[in-house]
Copies of this chain bind each other. A is one copy, B any other.
Amino acid sequence: MSPAVATQATVDLRDTPVVTIDLDRLEANIRRLQAYCDAHGIANRPHIKTHKIPAIAQMQMAGGARGITCQKLGEVAVMLDAGITDIFITFNILGEAKLERLRTLASRRGARLSVACDNAELARQLSRTFADAAEPLPVIVECDTGMGRTGVQTPAEALALAQLIARLPGLRFEGVMTYPIMPDTRPFFEAALAMLNRAGLPAAAVSTGGTPVYPRAHEVPGVTEHRAGTYVFNDRATVASGVATWDDCAMRILTTVISRPTPTRAIIDAGSKTLSSDLQGLVGHGRTVEYPDAVIYKLNEEHGYVDLSACAARPEVGEVVSVIPNHTCVVTNLHAHLVGVRRGRAEVVWNVAARGLVR
């Protein structure tokens, strides 16, 4: 166990719901992704939105990560406080209040912040903010290579934005990024990198992201770093994607059967305020480890509805069961604490320091 993880007082694992993280699995997950990155000479820049806990980010850094990825300035502040200084913010940071905070955070001792950008208005706002900074701000052009979210839409747009960034005072064009790796990532990046090279703006960073796709990162042309988040805990969605097994799922939510109103229905004390409503394209809201044939078919805020029809054995009122969630990142964000366990015993209680820091 990392020395950065402080052991704390005992916690009652029967006082549910409790979000547990199996430390053996967590450590193995950190090692596995790092080994992949090391084998392919790709820098590992894990996305901390999955755990929002400085101690776990420090485990990732100690394991070999180059730096981390954050989505929000609140997360950046928490991680800088913990001594993690190389941070890529994969979000368009817009507006006066945020830009002022970004400038302040970037000026902290040792901080090496970089930001994503997908439009000219943002590039100009960033430039106005950093025009008189001691160091230019590294800016990475976000490319939409098939996700249909943020990002410039074509290699030509990527070049035009890179040229604008290179021209603007206070900024340094640093490279390109995408999320996740898609079938169009290769042709998009091949074309964009060629155009950038021809224009004399080679990309120092070519950054890819995503847990389900991480084993393909080395196939992306010019890739220099990968950003994965969920891999650290894994969940029902990453198992469904084939990149993890149930044994790799470090997060399990302990929950109590509070009612058995009918022979086939159980109600657990884990609802949408515990598991979130994220389906991630799956049927049901989690896997019940002890009763894998049970289906969590509906959630209210504090109630989970479980169909036991397919179960030979069935839990009684008061029984505590473990649920692997569909989407681990949003579960973390709902809880004040995660409990690190080893062989079923609580070993550490982490404060989810960057929880709910949505700005």
Kindly provide the distance from the CB of A202 to the nearest chain B CB, expressed in whole angstroms: 25
* Complexed CA–CA distance, A316 and B16 (Å): 45
Q: At the interface, yes or no: A344 with Cβ under 8 Å from chain B?
A: no
Return the CB mask of A329-340 against B: 1 if under 8 Å, else 0. Answer: 110011110000
Q: At the interface, yes or no: A118 with Cβ under 8 Å from chain B?
A: yes
Q: At the interface, yes or no: A122 with Cβ under 8 Å from chain B?
A: yes
Q: At the interface, yes or no: A283 with Cβ under 8 Å from chain B?
A: no
Query: Which residues of B sit under 8 angstroms from A54, Cβ to Cβ?
Result: none
User: Contact at A276–B274, with CB atoms within 8 Å?
Assistant: no
Q: At the interface, yes or no: A163 with Cβ under 8 Å from chain B?
A: no
Return the CB mask of A29-41 against B: 1 if under 8 Å, else 0. Answer: 0000000000000
Return the CB mask of A88-109 against B: 1 if under 8 Å, else 0. Answer: 0001101111100000000000
The answer to whether residues A330 and B301 also contact, given A94-B318, A97-B15, A149-B267 and a CB cut-off of 8 A, is: yes
Return the CB mask of A63-95 against B: 1 if under 8 Å, else 0. Answer: 000000001100000000000000000011011
* Complexed CA–CA distance, A71 and B274 (Å): 13
User: Contact at A118–B278, with CB atoms within 8 Å?
Assistant: no
Kindly provide the distance from the CB of A154 to the nearest chain B CB, expressed in whole angstroms: 10
Return the CB mask of A310-343 against B: 1 if under 8 Å, else 0. Answer: 0000001110000000000110011110000000
Q: At the interface, yes or no: A128 with Cβ under 8 Å from chain B?
A: no
User: Contact at A317–B122, with CB atoms within 8 Å?
Assistant: yes
Query: Which residues of B sit under 8 angstroms from A153, Cβ to Cβ?
Result: 261-262
Within residues 192 to 247 of chain A, which ones have a CB less than 8 A from any CB in chain B? none
Q: At the interface, yes or no: A132 with Cβ under 8 Å from chain B?
A: no
Q: At the interface, yes or no: A303 with Cβ under 8 Å from chain B?
A: yes
* Complexed CA–CA distance, A17 and B279 (Å): 23
Kindly provide the distance from the CB of A260 to the nearest chain B CB, expressed in whole angstroms: 7
Query: Which residues of B sit under 8 angstroms from A355, Cβ to Cβ?
Result: 356
Kindly provide the distance from the CB of A315 to the nearest chain B CB, expressed in whole angstroms: 12
* Complexed CA–CA distance, A356 and B338 (Å): 12
Give which listed residue, B15, B151, B329, contacts A301 with CB less than 8 A: B329
Give which listed residue, B265, B278, B317, contacts A277 with CB less than 8 A: B278
Give which listed residue, B15, B260, B277, B302, contacts A71 with CB less than 8 A: B302
Q: At the interface, yes or no: A25 with Cβ under 8 Å from chain B?
A: no
The answer to whether residues A149 and B305 also contact, given A330-B272, A358-B273, A359-B16 and a CB cut-off of 8 A, is: yes
| Nearest B residue to A74, CB-CB | B336
Kindly provide the distance from the CB of A227 to the nearest chain B CB, expressed in whole angstroms: 14
Kindly provide the distance from the CB of A272 to the nearest chain B CB, expressed in whole angstroms: 6
Max count, chain B CB within 10 A of own CB: residue among A265, A273, A316, A334: A273
Give which listed residue, B151, B301, B329, contacts A261 with CB less than 8 A: B151
